[in-house]
């Protein structure tokens, strides 16, 4: 849905191959949004008619490769949004910042003013949200009316998926008004699969987020609440490789689109 057209892919590939970049060095990213290639600095400088420099942050010494400008043929200009490494510099997150003159409140500062609530828990809960000015109860969080559609999107990434058996146990034990077997509407991206077995999905945040969200939303319009879970297929048992994390992040836009569509 966000991938370039086949015509754009062919045009960029033809340009690269005509510039002596072998086809086996050209590929598309996992989500098909990027054309990527392996090349050294000299090849890129010749390809883009530019010169690359190694910039160093004045305070941190953090290096970054970039150029001042680059050029592409007019035949592919309409097919390319931008090239990286290019003219943008990496954001430096550990650089020192000038003091604003303000400081955080000390942990030993004045405590909040807490007044006693002269009502029992039973009275608060029986009020159906009428006493939210005194205490925040589940009814206060749920509210009295549902938004149009009454839907909530939950993103589940690599290895983060719900288990139906765990949901059923949670509903039976703590949310008996929700029928066992109730499940999210799955919006799978890039080969994602759900639900998982209890061993695979019963102890991660995917299951926890789903069951808590169901128990809150279901009260608004019983039987009609929808939770859409979107994610991608796991790349392996452990996501320890930087490339795997990068691949996970490149699915973010398609995942959000699939949830709200």
Residue-wise pLDDT tens for the chain (261 aa)? 568 889 999 999 999 999 999 999 999 888 788 899 988 999 999 999 999 998 888 888 888 888 999 999 999 999 998 898 888 766 544 444 444 444 445 555 556 556 777 888 777 777 766 777 777 766 676 666 655 666 666 766 666 677 888 878 877 876 677 788 888 777 776 667 777 777 765 555 555 556 556 655 555 444 333 444 444 443 333 333 333 444 444 555 555 555 455
The pLDDT assigned to 178 comes to 78
In this predicted structure, what is the pLDDT of residue 163? 81
Quickly list DSSP for the chain: --SPPHHHHHHHHHHHHHTT--GGGEEE-TTS--EEE---HHHHHHHHT--EEEEE-TTT--EEEEES-----HHHHTT-S--SSSSPPPPPSSS-----S--PPPTTSPPP------S-HHHHHHTTTTTTTT---HHHHH-SSPPTT-EEEEEE-TT---BHHHHHHHHHHH-TTSPTT---EEEE-TT----B-HHHHTTSHHHHHHHHHHHHHTTTSTTT-EEEEEE----SS---SHHHHHHHHTTHHHHHHHHH-
Q: What is the pLDDT of residue 69?
A: 92
Tell me if 53 sits within 8 A of 67, measured CB to CB. yes
Cα 249 from Cα 30, distance rounded (Å)? 10
Query: How far is 176 from 218, CA to CA, in rounded Å?
Result: 11
Res 43: pLDDT: 92
pLDDT at 261: 53
């Amino acid at each position: 849905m966000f991938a370039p057209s086949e015509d754009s892919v062919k045009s960029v590939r033809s340009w690269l191959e005509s510039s002596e970049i072998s086809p086996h060095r050209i590929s598309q990213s996992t989500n098909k949004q990027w054309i990527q290639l392996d090349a050294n600095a000299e090849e890129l400088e010749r390809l883009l008619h530019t010169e690359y420099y190694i910039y160093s942050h004045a305070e941190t010494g953090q290096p970054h490769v970039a150029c001042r400008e680059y050029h592409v043929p007019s035949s592919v200009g309409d097919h390319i949004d931008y090239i990286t490494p290019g003219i943008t510099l990496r954001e430096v997150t550990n650089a020192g910042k000038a003091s604003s003159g303000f400081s955080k409140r000390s942990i030993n500062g004045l405590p909040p003013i807490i007044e006693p609530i002269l009502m029992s828990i039973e009275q608060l809960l029986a009020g159906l949200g009428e006493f939210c000015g005194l205490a925040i109860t589940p009814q206060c969080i749920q509210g009295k009316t549902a938004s149009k559609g009454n839907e909530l999107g939950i993103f589940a990434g690599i290895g983060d998926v719900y288990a139906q058996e765990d949901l059923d146990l949670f509903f039976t034990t703590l949310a008996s008004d929700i029928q066992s077997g109730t499940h999210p509407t799955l919006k799978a991206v890039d080969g994602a699969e759900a639900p998982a077995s209890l061993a695979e999905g019963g102890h991660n945040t995917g299951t926890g987020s789903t069951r808590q969200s169901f128990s809150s939303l279901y009260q608004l319009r019983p039987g009609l609440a929808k939770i859409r879970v979107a994610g991608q297929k796991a790349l392996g048992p452990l996501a320890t490789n930087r490339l795997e994390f990068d691949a996970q992040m490149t699915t973010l836009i398609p995942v959000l689109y699939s949830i709200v569509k």
